[in-house]
Structure formats: structure tokens, C-alpha cells
Structure 1
């Protein structure tokens, strides 16, 4: 009888102490993204003002150093997502470049655009990766 009474009181105690409320965040927070000190920041249009027009071949052949500001013109071939920002594949008809859309500007497949950003090296898909903050229709 004592075991039963003890078990019931322990159960009531634990039930009373339990907190079934799920504390959620009450405010939305924005994540600030910026480049490490000494590197160009692809989220800042001022950082890419000195960008030079670049060819898809120059990026594919490794002629452009990582961290270099670039300008590319091409056609949106495929929309993708890289978890942090929307992304898309830009093509010149022969070669492709993976574009991280840090401007988060909407683009559609078939759009002809000019982008300005920072060359980030090779993407996982083994194609050049450019993080852009300026996207303009052609």
C-alpha cells in the first residue's frame, strides 16, 4: 500500500512540475552576413564597384583569382537553393556559373541578366561560384 501511495504521489509531483509549454521565439531575427576582415563583402554593392566584365571561360579556366569582383552577363538556366540564399545557374550557352543570389532578387528561367559580385572559387557542382548582390535585367 505504501508503494502504491508513494508511486501516486511521485507521479502527481512530476506531473505538476512538468512544463508542457514550448517557449518559442517571439521576435524574428535577421542574420547579418558579412565577409571576414580583409576580404571583399559580396553583400555590399560598394565592394563590387571596381568589378570588370568577365567571361564564363575565364572563370572556368581559373584565370580569375578567388575573391575578385566580377561582372557576368548570361541567361538563367536553372533555379536552385544553397540553403542560405536563393541561387541559380547562369549560362552563356556553352558554360555554366553557379550564382548565389545574395540580393535575393527574383529571377526566372530564361531571364537574360547581368550580375555583379565576388568570385568565390569552385562550387560543389564543379562549376565557378559567384556571390552576387547586383542583378540587372538585360
Structure 2
């Protein structure tokens, strides 16, 4: 009797587990992200067009306020990976800036580029972080 009760309980348990209905998503939607009111949006090329030429030294010394549009020219030193976007390190020969490549334009180590984007403060590596959406290869 005890074996029959265990067998019956096991059958009920497995029967309840086998009824997995996997609801399929009916529609996938994209979430649009934008900057908070009054701040520049690093994903907007129009805002990066207002960028003024900036030096690596001014970024490293904190002379540029966070959220300011900037334009830098330099050489791609190293390709890295930001969780959401590809990234690279841009150098002027002496100093480095971490570039978040929001344009997702392919660049290679050694390329001379001009980038326009929004300065976002210091990256984890203690180097200036700029999110760019305009990359011009020279």
C-alpha cells in the first residue's frame, strides 16, 4: 500500500511539472532611451555637431564639465568592449581617452580618427570617458 501511495504521489508530481506552457512573446518592442531633461543626449548626432575642438589635457585636468559636447582627434590605440557598445582608447601620443562608440562604426588599431560626442566624466580606468556618435576616419 505504501509503495502504491508513493507511486501515485510521484505520478501526480510529475504530471504537474510536465504542464509547462511557454507563452511566446507576441510582439517585440524597442525601448527608446533619452537623456534627462536639460542634459545632452550622447545618442543624438545633432547635439554632437555642436562640439568644439577639445584637448586631451583639458579632459584629463577636469577643465571640461560633464555633459559638454566635445570633439577630439587622435589615434586608436586599443579596442575594448563596453557592455552595451563597442569601445576603444584614443590617444594623442601622451594621454588617453576612453571612447564609448555609440555610432558602432568599425575602427582599427592605428586609425587616425576625429570623434564628436558628449564628455561623461571619468571612466573606471581613471581616464576621461566620451560617448561618441560621430566618428570620422582620416
Q: Give the TM-score normalised by the residue count of structure 2.
A: 0.90
The structural deviation recorded for 1:123 is 0.4
1:12 Cα shift?
A: 0.7
Number of matched pairs: 137
Match in the other structure for 1:112 = 112
Match of 1:18?
17
SS of structure 2 residue aligned to 1:10: helix
CA distance in 1, matches of 2:4, 2:113: 75
Q: TM-score, normalization: structure 1? A: 0.90
Mark the runs of 5 or more structure 2 residues left unpaired by the alignment: none
Unaligned runs of 5+ in 1: none
Does the C-alpha gap of structure 1 residues 70 and 19 become closer, same or farther in structure 2, counting only changes over 3 Å? farther
Distance 2:70 2:23 in 1: 42
CA separation of 1:77/1:19 partners in 2, compared to 1, >3 Å: closer, same or farther? farther
1:41-80 to 2 correspondences below 5 Å: 41-80=41-80
Deviation at 1:36, TM superposition (A): 1.6
Aligned-residue CA RMSD (Å)? 1.9
- Give the structure 2 partner of residue 93 of structure 1: 93
CA distance 1:43–1:28, shift in 2 (3 Å): same
Question: Does the C-alpha gap of structure 1 residues 85 and 19 become closer, same or farther in structure 2, counting only changes over 3 Å?
Answer: farther
